Copies of this chain bind each other. A is one copy, B any other.
Amino acid sequence: FPLNLTADCNAVLKALQPIFQEQGMTETVHNWEDHGYLATYIKKNGSFANLRIHPHGLVLVDLQSYNDHTKGREEVDQLLNKVEERMKELFHGNIKRVKRLPAILRGGVIDRYWPTADGRLVEYDIDEVVYDEDSPFQNIKILHSKQFGNILILSGDVNLAESDLAYTQAIMGSGKEDYTGKEVLILGGGDGGILYEIVKLKPKMVTMVALNIDQMVIDGCKKYMRKTCGDVLDNLKGECYQVLIEDCIPVLKRYAKEGRMFDYVINDLTAVPISTSPEEDSTWEFLRLILDLSMKVLKQDGKYFTQ
């Protein structure tokens, strides 16, 4: 409850404390004077509540309980309804906002919280841990979401879900390119999505170069992300494609030296790409090296796609 006015901390405490005491909760109050009050309410069943009253006008209520029963949730709702009612009686129109957040579930077998790369909290509707393995380089998880299908998560970073065909289509040029009879080079793309979609379009030859640190990613995807990769990862070679488990830098150098040219280079490496033998000092220099080498193996009317 952010308020439009400063709060009389003692008045708030006196107004709300009966609600917790009616639940048979034991109160402990800490008074900071300058920084307001913290009241902790403890219930016999192991639940507890924190009531934090900031004198400049902010009242926060946290409830924590070990309980996954619906009954527990209903009790929580009833308690919060009473708190809301009492606060409205006390402050009338001076409550800026009443916000109740969904319960955060911790300690369960399934972890539903996968923050975004920019640190935002996102809860997914995960209902199954499909794959969970540690490679020497990273943790590889594939979790099933009702909304998105199987989701590939590398060391906590959400990479791609089976429903993310739009990502693959976008990095392929949003359906505006004709891949028929073309030579294509994919850098990275260990989930097999781009390879699978391009192979459908009758290219001459697609070469995908993925690091060996991705081997376990490929193993997981070929088994559990088949909506994304179909059967293209089952074998590392097909009629019109090959998968090289190698660092892309030496491969690009070799192709450049041999004069091997492509109609399309699709760079699907991770945002901060990994090399097994980095020769460049900074990430930017490394990104430039990949771009320079890609240009060298691109036909004059060729196209380069990346995120």
Residues of A that sit less than 8 Å from B by CB: 2, 26, 28, 30, 32, 34-36, 38, 40, 42, 44-46, 48, 50, 52, 54, 58, 60, 62, 64, 66, 97, 99, 101-102, 104, 106-108, 111-113, 115, 118-125, 166
Question: Could you tell me if B46 and A28 are in contact, using CB atoms closer than 8 angstroms?
Answer: no
Q: Are B107 and A58 in contact (CB under 8 A)?
A: yes
Q: Given A38-B42, A54-B66, A120 and B111 touching (CB < 8 A)? A: no
Shortest CB distance A146–B (Å):
9
Q: List B contacts of A36 (CB < 8 A).
A: 46
A125-B120 CB under 8 A given contacts A42-B30, A97-B111: yes
B124 with A104: CB separation less than 8 A:
no
Greatest chain B CB density within 10 A among A26, A102, A107, A122 is at A107
- Residue in chain B with minimal CB distance to A55: B46
Residues of chain B with a CB closer than 8 A to A40's CB:
28, 30, 38, 40
In contact, B106 and A99 (Cβ under 8 angstroms): yes
Contact of A60 among B38, B106, B166 (CB under 8 A): B106
Question: Taking A99-B106, A104-B101, A113-B101 as contacts, is the C-beta distance between A125 and B121 under 8 angstroms?
Answer: no
Q: Are B125 and A102 interface neighbours, CB within 8 A?
A: no
| Contact call A120/B124, Cβ cutoff below 8 A | yes
| Interface contacts beyond A2-B106, A28-B40, A122-B122: sample of 18 additional A-B pairs, CB < 8 Å, sorted by A | A28-B28, A28-B30, A32-B42, A32-B46, A35-B66, A36-B46, A48-B50, A50-B50, A50-B64, A52-B64, A54-B66, A58-B66, A58-B106, A58-B107, A62-B64, A120-B125, A121-B121, A166-B166
The reply to whether B28 and A35 contact each other, CB–CB distance below 8 Å, is no
Chain B residues near A60 (CB-CB < 8 A) = 64, 106-107
Do A121 and B104 touch across chains, with their CB atoms under 8 A apart?
yes
Q: Are B101 and A121 in contact (CB under 8 A)?
A: yes
